[in-house]
Each structure stands twice: as C-alpha cells, then as structure tokens.
Amino acid sequence: MSKEQPNNPLHGIKLEQIVTELADHYGWDELGRRIQIRCFNFDPSVKSSLKFLRRTPWARTKVENLYVSTFTK
C-alpha cells in the first residue's frame, strides 16, 4: 500500500526527528530567532514543541520548510 513519494523530501521523516535535528543543528536560541514561536523561545523542549506544532499548521509548515532548506540540496 505504501507508494514512493519522490517529490516529497519529508516522506518518512517524523516531526520529532525534524525538531530534534533542528535543535541539535541550530540550538534552541538560534531556532527561536529563525522561527518566532513561543515553544522555541521560552523553556524549550522537544515535547512542548511537538505538542504545539501538531496543533498549529502554520508553525509546522515553517519548521518543515526550515528543515528542508537546511538538510536537503
């Protein structure tokens, strides 16, 4: 049933992996500067970020776009 998605760079990558890799790469301070959302700027954690991003499509889109621009060619 699974089909390849060659045009989707995020296929198979979980949101938790995206947030963790961005936090490791940039650090929470820089991530909060790049994407101005409270869960990155005040008491940041992967858990709180996931909770917010799963409920907020516009913020999730910004995070996914940053991930794609950072880690793909």
CATH of domain 15-71: 1.10.720.30
Q: Which of 12, 20, 2, 3 is nearest to 67 (CA)?
A: 20
Q: CA 38, CA 41: separation in Å to the nearest integer? A: 5
Question: What is the residue extent of each domain of the chain?
Answer: 15-71
Q: Does position 2 have pLDDT exceeding 60, yes or no?
A: no
Q: CA 1, CA 21: separation in Å to the nearest integer? A: 29
Q: CA 68, CA 73: separation in Å to the nearest integer? A: 8
pLDDT digits (tens, 9 = 90+) for 29-65: 999 999 999 999 999 999 999 999 999 999 999 999 9
Q: Please state the pTM of the whole predicted model.
A: 0.87
